[in-house]
Structure 1
Amino acid sequence: MALSAVWLVLAGLLLQPLQAETLPETVERVEGSVLGIATFQPTRSPRIEYLATGFVVDDGRLVVTNRHAVPESLNDDQRERLVVVSGQGRDTVIRNARVVAQSREHDLALLHIASPSLPALELGSSDSVRVGEEVAFTGYPIGMILGLYPATHRATIAAWTPMVIPARSSGELDARRIRALRDDPPMVFQLDGTAYPGNSGSPLYRKHDGKVIGVINQTFVQGGREAAVERPSGITYAIPAEQIRPLIREYHSSGQ
């Protein structure tokens, strides 16, 4: 009888679901994969100009960010280069980066960084995300002012909605693209959560396991850039993580 009772207890333990991580535990793990996207120019002051946030995926040497945050060209004469910055505060490491795949339609860019590999985040399924679900995102808001200190914000999935992706220049808004955005706009997550300049490219993830379900893309602003800081709307948009996978496949198939 005693032996049967022991087996019943063990069976009960095996049937219990694995305990989910708390948000602080998830954030601690995610932060090591979140990077600053910047340009570095040795003759400039400051030498580093922060552009956005990015995060590590795949083999630890690929970084996802927003395409609109990556400069179209660099000043080769002044030895300007695209870099990612890891670490916090003054304890940072700069690595060279290059764009290896991008999607104008979904405002995503995939960067390849120098060795060694960094901890990568796992991509989750955007299709299983439900309206009303609580999520989180981690990034570097207002990076040039606050410095490289990752900040985490909670958010709620408010809607699944069509969204116009920002163009880097008016030249990108040709007739074909305008027609595509009007007739078949990409679908994105609308969040009830506040993002700031610098949060572009931040990973949007589930609080209990840290799996990435989206990429912070933009925030609704009434007014100029200053209004995004002084009078944030609390309406933020994120590109579904499903759109990252084609870029990773494109990179691996290209043999770069």
Structure 2
Amino acid sequence: MNRTLSWERNILWLLTSALAAISLLIMGEEASAEQSLVATLDDIKPGIVAVGTYMPKRSPRAQFRGTGFAIGNGRLVVTNAHVLPESLQVERRERIAVFIKKNGRDSLYYAKEVAVDTSHDVAVLKLDKGSLTPLKLSGKDVREGELYAFTGYPIGMVLGLYPVTHRGIISAISPVAIPMINSSQLNAKVMKRLRAPYNVYQLDATAYPGNSGSPLYHLQTGEVIGIINKVFVKESKENVLSKPSGISYAIPIVHLRNLLKDKGLLQ
């Protein structure tokens, strides 16, 4: 009987030790990831901008529409196609612009559209003058369960030009065409996606409308693997802030690469 109890105690001790070791390993990996993200943010935040328009005699003069990030030589800025305005009030001197806090001051850069892919919701702007800190595009495969981060302006410039960072795993790699509950939800854009669906990254992280165009990147390297382009809305667009679904989507970076190549912009 004593030998049996002793054997059971040894097994229990071994199991407890193994669980403790696994817990310490996981905590160590999480701490390492957090430290990596801190360093990564210092490197990439100078290249993440708010995207919108600027009109000298409008109030407010700056109108925020989404987020973007610099690539290449620092003069190209990537965002979503749906972030850009359908038209500009040229007669009132309205122009596309990107905004960023630089050296503690709010800065503005005028830009123009140089490439757009509405099918994959990707757009590229080019700064008229100046340059920003570019982010690198990743060439690595993305797998479900991997942890990534995205940085942008979730509620526009209400919080000022201070980009906000969120983390989340790739919870699924699934077709962009999400099944509709009923026929009333079908429209021309949805029908087009149903005919030619492509995969997007689904995240278990909360994004908001202002996050459109935010880079989704590796915590350790800052290399971009996707572009945040939408959030799943549970009830209505009006409730997206008060009742977020916690489900967001990103366009794989391959579609940006293809657009850059087609337009001769690939560095």
For Structure 1 versus Structure 2, the TM-score category normalised by the shorter chain is 0.7 to 0.9
Q: Which moved more, 1:108-117 or 1:46-55?
A: 108-117
On the 8 A contact 1:88/1:148 being kept in 2, the answer is: no
On the 8 A contact 1:131/1:160 being kept in 2, the answer is: yes
Supply the AA of the counterpart residue of 1:203: P
Task: Report the alpha carbon displacement of residue 197 of structure 1 after superposing the two structures with TM.
Answer: 1.8
Task: Please provide the CA RMSD for this pair.
Answer: 2.2
On the 8 A contact 2:177/2:190 being kept in 1, the answer is: no
Secondary structure of the residue aligned to 2:241 is helix
Supply the AA of the counterpart residue of 2:95: R
**Alignment counterpart, residue 166 of structure 2, candidates 124, 149, 153:** 153
**Alignment counterpart, residue 248 of structure 2, candidates 214, 233, 236:** 236
After TM superposition, list the pairs within 5 Å mapping 1:72-87 onto structure 2: 72-87=86-101
Say which structure, 1 or 2, has more relative contact order (CA 8 Å, 6+ apart). Answer: 1
**Alignment counterpart, residue 157 of structure 2, candidates 126, 144, 151:** 144
Q: Distance in 2 between matches of 1:232 and 1:221?
A: 7
Q: Distance in 2 between matches of 1:182 and 1:162?
A: 9
Q: Distance in 2 between matches of 1:201 and 1:146?
A: 18
After TM superposition, list the pairs within 5 Å mapping 1:32-111 onto structure 2: 32-87=46-101, 91-111=105-125
Uncovered stretches (5+) of structure 2, i.e. residues with no partner: 1-31, 179-186
Paired residue total:
226
TM-score, structure 1 length as denominator?
0.82
Q: Which has the larger radius of gyration?
A: 2
Taking a change above 3 Å as real, the CA distance of residues 89 and 37 of structure 1, as seen in their structure-2 partners, is farther
Uncovered stretches (5+) of structure 1, i.e. residues with no partner: 1-18, 166-172
Deviations 1:5-62 (A, max 9, x none): xxxxxxxxxxxxxx98711101111101101101101111110010000000111111
Q: Distance in 1 between matches of 2:58 and 2:146?
A: 44
Q: Distance in 2 between matches of 1:51 and 1:159?
A: 27
Question: What fraction of aligned residue pairs are identical, expressed as a percent?
Answer: 44
After TM superposition, list the pairs within 5 Å mapping 1:117-196 onto structure 2: 117-125=131-139, 128-164=141-177, 174=188, 179-196=191-208
Taking a change above 3 Å as real, the CA distance of residues 205 and 150 of structure 1, as seen in their structure-2 partners, is same
Match of 1:169 in 2: none
Secondary structure of the residue aligned to 1:249 is helix
Q: Distance in 1 between matches of 2:125 and 2:203?
A: 26
Q: Distance in 2 between matches of 1:88 and 1:194?
A: 27
Q: Distance in 2 between matches of 1:76 and 1:115?
A: 19
Task: Report the alpha carbon displacement of residue 188 of structure 1 after superposing the two structures with TM.
Answer: 0.3
On the 8 A contact 2:151/2:214 being kept in 1, the answer is: yes
Match of 2:23 in 1: none
Q: Distance in 2 between matches of 1:247 and 1:81?
A: 23
Supply the AA of the counterpart residue of 2:254: E
Secondary structure of the residue aligned to 1:229 is coil
TM-score, structure 2 length as denominator?
0.79
Q: Distance in 2 between matches of 1:91 and 1:114?
A: 20
Match of 1:168 in 2: none
Supply the AA of the counterpart residue of 2:262: E
Q: Distance in 1 between matches of 2:224 and 2:119?
A: 20
